[in-house]
Structure 1
Amino acid sequence: MFNDVVNDVSYAGSAMRGEILGLERRRFWRDEDKLEIVASVGIDGATVTQVAQRHEVTRQQIYAWRHDLKKKGLWSPDAGALFFPLDMPVAAGVLVAQPPLAEAPPPVAVELRLRGGRSLHFESAIDPAALSVLIRSVETA
């Protein structure tokens, strides 16, 4: 009924023409769908912008869904995160490098969350002494 309707409206003595191109397109998303979309940010390096474009939504919509899902207890920033115990001997406040394992696993990306909301991203194969220096320099910055 509203598709391709053209209206001529007279406003204050001048002709104004308005065109309605179609009905408003409004989609309804289930929480499961929202959760899947929000969780796909960061997978294989996908940014919020890329995920939004892929699903034809705005970046702001993804941020709003993230906020709503977090309030409902359905999503956590740590969802899907793997935590590994870190067993590194410390001598006089300095990390001591351990001998390498005979068969080292392939390096994986690691995120280390520090106080003050800072986080470090590095590969698991980083030298423990270098990591210690990096942590100290970031915490003192």
Structure 2
Amino acid sequence: MSQITVISGVERRRMWSHEQKLALVEATMMPGANVAEIARRADVRPSQIYRWRRDLLDPTPTPASGFAPVVVGPDQHEAPERPLAMVIELGGAIVRIAADAPAALVTATLRSLKR
């Protein structure tokens, strides 16, 4: 004869109210709070609390498409042309250095080209 085991009781997946989630998230925001300890006391995983934190406290929703609208119009103020002191072409890179560029910037730029 075979044996059958019947598991009864509360199902493991619990439903948390908005207030319960918010209370746990707020507890993690207190100075010196330990998310792992708070999660252990509530019998949830720390990752669940981090998920609730992101969902409940993030004021900016994620954009649906990932693209932002761009409006192209005429340039209102054009940057004045600065006189060039040097134009360096090295290994496919072109560096234009203005006459009034700081010496430290020129030195750092040329050193980075050497690498």
Q: State if a TM-score over 0.5 links the two structures.
A: no
Larger radius of gyration: 2
TM-score, length basis structure 2: 0.40
TM-score, length basis structure 1: 0.33
